[in-house]
Amino acid sequence: MWFVVDPHSSVPIYAQIKEKIKAMILNSKLKPGDSLPSIRTLAKDIGVNVNTVARAYRELELEGIIRAERGERYAVVGFEDKIYFETKERLIKELKSVLKRCQDLGISKEEVLRLLEEVYMHQNEGGDEYDNSKE
């Protein structure tokens, strides 16, 4: 048996399942790439409705903690990927804000692209930080 849920708890069973899986990841009982039991198998194992497990898995997938793979397999992604995607989203939002400010200041698309290329070229050459004093 994977774990036990408390049907008398005020916490919904699907939420208990989510928290148990998260705890198993944090305790390294489940590692990125590990497979979770199928929805039906886990439902049978812990004695709950398949829809309850399906909801827990769906929400964990939306949170970026697990992912559905070919067939009925679900794999652990872990929290590291979630943090990566949250950081990426935040940086994209910041970049859009900076680009909007460039546009408002009349900086041409060509100039922005040239600067972007310059920064990426500097990074590929092993530079740590971009030195804009050459501007």
> What span, in angstroms and rounded, lies between the C-alpha atoms of 81 and 135?
37
- pLDDT digits over 39-83, tens only? 999 999 999 999 999 999 999 999 889 999 987 789 998 776 665
Residues 2, 14: Cα–Cα separation, whole Å: 14
CA distances from 46 to 72, 77, 80, 91 (A): 18, 23, 28, 41
Task: For residue range 80-100, list pLDDT tens digits in order.
Answer: 666 567 667 888 999 999 999
Give the CATH fold of the 13-78 domain: Arc Repressor Mutant, subunit A (1.10.10)
Give yes or no for a contact between 22 and 65, defined as CB atoms under 8 angstroms apart.
Answer: yes
Q: What is the pTM of this model?
A: 0.59
- CA distance to 7, 17, 45, 88, 132, per residue, from 68 (Å): 27, 17, 20, 22, 44
